Structure 1
Amino acid sequence: MPTDVTWLDICLAGAAVYLVKQVFTKKNNVPYPPGPPGWPLVGNVLDMPRIKPWLTFAEWGKKYGGISHIELLGQHIIVLNSVKITMAMLDGKSSVYSDRPILPMGGELCGWKHALGFLPYGDRLRLYRKNLHRVIGSHAALNIYHPIEEVETHRFLKRVLANPDQLQAHIRHTTGAVLLQISYGYEVKENDDPFVDLAERALDQLSRVSVAGAFFVDIMPSLAKVPEWFPGIGFKRKARESLETLEKMAGAPYGFVKDQMAAGIAQRSFTSDLLEGRALSAEEEHIVKWSAASLYSGGADTTVSTIYTLFLAMTISPDVQKKAQAEIDAVVGPDRLPSFADRDSLPYTEALVKEVLRWNAVVPNGGPHRVTEDDIHDGYYIPKGSLVIPNVWFMLHDPRTYANPSQFNPERFLARDGKESETEPSTICFGFGRRPTQRAPTKKTVLTLLSFPGLHLADASVWISTVMSLAVFDISKIVENGVEITPELDPSSSMISHPKPFKCSIKARSAQALELIQQDANY
């Protein structure tokens, strides 16, 4: 097919845009934050890392300080390696720094622009958050769902006992079961559930398309208009496939609820509550559908990664495992499984969960923020439209904050012998920025937006999985050909980072533990 567009045209257009921006946008003599020197025209395109970018960002932090800057064809990117600076900017100036960027690949072409984590300021964001906060925005609101999490985690124990080699699949199945029950009142099938499979594909595609610098269209958005058949535009095919998967993930379970309600057999859920007795406009229906999809997708992949990290940590930290088990045995005893009612009585187990969150940063570079107006911070110029990337991984592994950060040590979060506990990881790992839905939020509004809506649900899911698993299982290294295999934490480079697959031995701790696992698990 003939075309007037060539790669030379594209490059010249990009260079022209860059030069125009250079001439007209810098209106002051305040310097940008320091960073690696760029090249003429293309700036720091060659410096932008694609493999484990948080490691490169950490090196920039060591060389340039807590705030550094690069520029890619006129797009300014600010990388933050300091908790203090990050809080001062993203929390302290949230009305300037808490917008979300428009991501040409993941957001626009792949369709994730409709999900909560990608929404800019506006009415939709406010309504999404209002819907979600009502259901999962506090510990009190989540209490009604504790039985669901306890039963599904008990079923998880059964699956792991029967087939421990499929650990990651069992974690994904259980996480999906909890979220689908809460979001849509849907009970998953024991094997090959279509909704669980849809979410797994959609979130895997999201992780791949949202890596900073992975697709040139994120640097030069005009490429999105080039037809898919044009040479070198293979990203358009990937985007089309991702969009199709995402639309099914959001639409299929939503359609299930509507069909169940029409038949009068729907279980109560987040979606049915929002639909019950209402005649919705197209906009209102869009908000309900994508609020539910955001609830489902927002915790699915991150929770899977965290629980998988737990089993890795227990495999290589037998002393930690024994301490947690001793505490659980003393509080719970051998005659029942732990429940949420035991949580306040298990401080070491609580610290262990915090250390899991710190040790492997599930979203190592946080969520990107967009600057809505020019700012001067610590004597540096931050231009409007800049992308701000908080290097969460480094903040959770900064030796100035955490002693021996590569070591898995829950006791760092226990205040003992006059020594204060180390920094609470949830203040870092769950992201920054209050993301207010008004330009001048009231005190009440700010307090309801201090954390992302899934924080409490994710925390509850990880805790109950931890305490139940340690109550009944011994997790240890495997031996192959007479050699003990020690796995290592080697996280993936995707936006939502997972430990590299590993092998471990998972066995019932005792005959009593085996009996507890095999008991019926029903709502």
Structure 2
Amino acid sequence: MLTPYTLLLIAVGIVVIFARLLSMGKRPKNYPPGPPTLPLIGNIHQMPSRDAHLQFEKWAREYGPVYSLILGTKTLVVLSSDEAVKDLLDKKSGIYSDRQEMYIGQTLCSGDLRLLMMGYGPKWRAFRKMVHGLLNISAARSYVPYQMLENKQMLYEMLNQPDRFLENIRRYSNALTTTMVFGWRTPTYEDDKMKQLFDGFTEFAAINQTGTAALIDFFPWLRRLPDFVLPAQKKAKELHKHEKALYLGHWLKAKEEFKKGLIQPSFCVGMAEAQKADGFSDDQATYISGTLLEAGSDTTSSTLYAFVQAMLLFPEVQKKAQREIDDAVGPGRMPNMDDESNLQYVRACMKETLRWMPTTILGAVPHAVTQDDISYKGYLIPKGAGVVNNTWAINMDPKRHPSPRIFDPERYINDFQSLADAAANPDPSKRDQFTFGAGRRICPGMHVAERSLFLGMSRMLWAFDIEPQVDEQGNKILPDPDKLTQGFVCMPEEFPVSIKPRSKERAEMVAEEWEDAQRECLDPETKQWRQAPANAGTTSKV
């Protein structure tokens, strides 16, 4: 029989549990403001299933540049101004560089190995240091010969199969990335492993954007339920199995070629040496190299695809950029990196593309804070809170960029900063765009991406006219620039376009350049580099 004291303890316990349940989902008074909450779930019911960037922008206009969302047991703080990103993610990067736990994305899809989602600590810092060695500004210069070669094949494929221009762009970015990371290139889009990579991006985004994935993160006890109740868990495990097999195959091939002395200069050379010294596993090496493959393949191709759409929708910009190229370079040769300082309008087009269509539309993966921050604008940003770099809202802020959905390179015509210099500028208003992230989690591939984008854009415009297709009635078919794919990395939904050479002479030069490059640099059977280019690190002709 229960004693009165026991009954009292039970009653007190019930009251405490009930009170905690009632408080769950509420926004504490000293948190940044945000939309009204409901008990238990907070703002979960208001989270959009697609085009989340539009809702996040709307909340920014309503609640200010720093607002919060209460998502079950977790807090998400959204930064929607250049000043807030600079003050917190940059200046306080020591405590704003962690990640929240992402059970579906990191644990199930990635085996807790994906560098993008790894928590901030000694392990992440060591691996990040290795990545920096591959992608820093000095190393980036050595990849110009690779970029020139892959660019020539892309132009040749656009000349001969213009209807497959998205595939041509994807092969360009993927081949460059595999060369830099593993020492071998992807010579054709029909490569099954490359197709698996891009299909995996789509599947990864779909799984991680399901309501189930969010609920499992917000209410961890749901993880105990079997897979037949939560099919997203089963899909995530299957994706990890196939993805790991792909990335492991790449790494083990590179490691074997390293042992035999056959590997071309690449990131995996340094990683194989580091593995011997530090003893990290093949699984971890697999996902370090795989993370680089993902980042280099997807973001560059998505940005170039957006650029093609912008040229389609804003033909006056295309004509002005072509006039600049013709004046500075002429019809007798293609632009190269030595021309960059004379092609400021083309550089402005590159920056405007990154602003107008940010591929990491909500900063990819939220940062997380490792301790309470009570000193910002009078708000408490609690330990463990996710922190979003609201890229879309900042890039579309009409105070920074009037008429933000107009593609206008003139915004950057007097901006001579590199992408990295702009990101490091102590004046946040002088930063060009926020697509590459901020703080210690900023994209380390910025230097390589800048060259790939400049070469891709300048040479496309040198060689081709980008025009709309027409329907049976002769009406131009124009895409909607606000229809975007969903996921961590976004791009315009697929659209038709007509890509035609600007002259017979330029078409012939595109074909000749690619034929010469193959003959001089590639094995005729494997289409791989015969040896590392002797002029790596220069802008000489390849």
Q: Place the TM-score, normalised by the shorter chain, in its bin.
A: 0.7 to 0.9
Separation in structure 1 between the aligned mates of residue 297 and residue 270 of structure 2, nearest angstrom:
21
In the alignment, what sits opposite 1:8?
Answer: none
**Which position in structure 2 is the counterpart of 1:397?**
396
The corresponding residue for 1:318 is 315
1:60 counterpart residue number: 59
Contact 1:48-1:213 at 8 Å conserved across structures? no
In 2, distance between residues paired with 1:255 and 1:65?
A: 49
Provide the rounded CA distance (Å) in 2 between the counterparts of 1:425 and 1:245: 39
Pick one of 191, 194, 197 that aligns with 2:192.
194
Partner of residue 486, structure 1: 478
8 Å Cα contact 1:374-1:383 kept in structure 2: yes
Match of 2:535 in 1: none
RMSD: 2.6
> Residue 279 of structure 1 aligns to which amino acid in structure 2?
K
Contact 2:181 2:292 in 1 (8 A): yes
For residue 69 of structure 1, give the secondary structure of its aligned residue in structure 2: strand
The one-letter code of the counterpart of 1:185 is: G
CA distance in 2, matches of 1:214, 1:471: 48
CA distance in 1, matches of 2:164, 2:197: 18
Could you tell me which runs of 5 or more consecutive residues in structure 1 were left unpaired when the two chains were aligned: 1-15, 417-421, 436-450
Change (3 A) 1:275 1:358: same
Q: What are the ranges of 5 or more consecutive residues in structure 2 without an aligned counterpart? A: 1-15, 416-427, 522-542
Following superposition, the deviation at residue 86 of structure 1 comes to: 2.3
- Give the deviation of 1:430 after TM superposition: 0.9
Q: Is the 8 A contact 1:472 1:508 kept in 2?
A: yes
Aligned to 1:374: 372
Aligned partner letter, 2:255: K
The 1-side partners of 2:304 and 2:62 are apart by 34
Say whether residues 1:204 and 2:202 are aligned partners: yes
SS in 2 for 1:96: coil
How many residues are aligned here? Answer: 485
Letter in 2 for 1:118: M
User: Is 1:517 the counterpart of 2:510 in the alignment?
Assistant: yes
Deviation at 1:287, TM superposition (A): 4.7
Q: Which residue of 1 aligns with 2:452?
A: 461
Partner residue of 1:160 out of 151, 158, 161: 158
2:495 paired residue among 499, 502, 506: 502
In the alignment, is the contact (CA less than 8 A) between 2:24 and 2:41 conserved in 1?
Answer: no
1:365 equivalent in structure 2: 362
| Distance in 1 between residues matched to 2:388 and 2:271, nearest whole Å | 35
In the alignment, which residue of structure 2 is the partner of 1:274? 271
> Is 1:385 equivalent to 2:384 in the alignment?
yes
CA 211–80 in structure 1, closer or farther in 2 if over 3 Å, else same: farther
Residue 439 of structure 2 aligns to a residue whose secondary structure is: coil
- The Cα of 1:499 is off from its aligned counterpart by 0.2
- 1:338-353 mapped onto 2 (5 Å cutoff): 338-353=335-350
Aligned partner of 1:433 among 435, 439, 448: 439
**Is contact 2:23-2:39 (8 Å) kept?**
no
**Cα–Cα, structure 1 residues 511 and 32, in superposed 2: closer, same or farther, change >3 Å?**
same
In the TM superposition, what are the counterparts of 1:104-143 in structure 2 within 5 Å? 104-111=103-110, 113-138=112-137, 140-143=138-141
SS at match of 2:440: coil
Match of 1:308 among 305, 309, 326: 305
The match for 1:171 is 169
Residue number in structure 2 paired with 1:328: 325
Letter in 2 for 1:141: A
Structure 1 Cα separation of the partners of residues 217 and 256 of structure 2: 39
Partner Cα separation in structure 1 for residue 21 and residue 129 of structure 2: 39
Counterpart-to-counterpart distance in 2, 1:214 and 1:480: 41
Contact kept in structure 2, 1:185 and 1:257, CA below 8 Å: yes
Q: Which amino acid aligns with 2:204?
A: L
Task: Verify the 8 A CA contact 2:24 2:39 in the aligned structure 1.
Answer: no
- For 1:152 and 1:126, the matched residues in 2 are separated by 32
Instruction: Report the Cα offset of residue 500 of structure 1.
Output: 1.0
Query: More deviation in 326-335 or 107-116?
Result: 107-116
Cα distance between partner residues in 2 of 1:371 and 1:485: 47
2:7 corresponding residue in structure 1:
none
Contact map agreement 2:182 2:250 (CA 8 A) in 1 = yes
After superposition, what is the alpha-carbon deviation per residue over 1:264-295, rounded to whole angstroms, capped at 9, x for unaligned?
Answer: 43222210233259735652645543332222
Segment drifting more, 347-356 vs 31-40: 31-40
